[in-house]
Structure 1
C-alpha cells in the first residue's frame, strides 16, 4: 500500500504546476527517489526503521513556503484517500501534516524567520 500511495502521489506531484518544478529541478532519476520515499513512509507510518536520512537538511535550501506545503498536503491527501482505507489514510495524513509543519518551521528558521503559534512562512513576493 505504501508503494502504491507514494507512486500515485508523485505522479500527481510531477504534473503539478506549483510544486512539480521544485521537484523536477532536483530529481533527475525518479526511481531512486521513490525507493527512498518508500523507506521514509514505512519508517514514518509503521516505525520500520528503514529510512536513514536527514529530511530537514534536504529541504532547507528549497525555494518553498506555506503555499507549497499546502499544495503538497492537498495532493498527498487526495492520493491517500484514493489508495488507502479510511483509517490508514487518516494515519498517513496525521503524520504528513506534522512533517509539513516541521519542515515549514525549519525552512523559515533557516531564513531567519521564527514562526509563532499558527503563523505560516511566506517568502517575500509570495
Structure 2
C-alpha cells in the first residue's frame, strides 16, 4: 500500500523532523547543523515548515530569506557539491519513506532545485565541483 501524499502542515512537520534527525547525524552534513549553525530544531522548525508549506501547499506563510543562513554557513566553512548532493539524497529518502503522490514528487523536485540554486549562489557559476557531488546532484545538473 502506498504512503499518503503530503497534504498539510502536520505532514510537513513530521517529514522535516524525520529528515533533520538523519541530517543531524550524517557525518558529511551533520556538523553544519550541529557544530557550525548550532541549529535548535525546536526554534527553527516552525520557520522551516513555513518555507515548505509555502513552496508545496502555496500558503504564502514564509517571509524570510532562505539563502542568507546558508551563505553564512558557507562563509564559515565552504559548502560543496558533495554537501548539497548529500542533502538531496537524504531529503529524497525522507520523502520517499513517508509520502507518495504529486506533492511528494514536487517536494523532491523542489529540494533538487533549491540545492542547485544554493550551490550556484555559494560556489558560483561552475557548479561541477572538484570534489564530485553525489549522483542525485549530478542528475540535477544534467536536467538543468
TM-score category by the smaller chain? 0.7 to 0.9
| 8 Å CA contact retained: 1:27, 1:33 | no
Question: Which runs of at least 4 in structure 1 moved beyond 6 Å after TM superposition?
Answer: none
Instruction: Tell me the TM-score normalized by structure 1.
Output: 0.84
Cα displacement (A) at 1:107: 0.3
| 8 Å CA contact retained: 1:36, 1:51 | yes
Aligned match of 1:8: 18
Find 1:22's aligned residue among 29, 32, 44.
32
Higher RCO (CA < 8 A, seq sep 6+): 2
| 8 Å CA contact retained: 2:54, 2:62 | yes
What count of residue pairs does the alignment treat as equivalent? 116
Q: What 5-or-longer segments of structure 2 have no aligned partner?
A: 1-10, 132-144
Instruction: Tell me the TM-score normalized by structure 2.
Output: 0.74
Q: Which moved more, 1:52-61 or 1:9-18?
A: 52-61
Please provide the CA RMSD for this pair: 1.5
What does the per-residue CA deviation read over 1:8-54, in whole Å, with 9 as the maximum and x for residues that have no partner?
Answer: 10000111000000111213422111111111100111121111111
SS at match of 2:120: helix
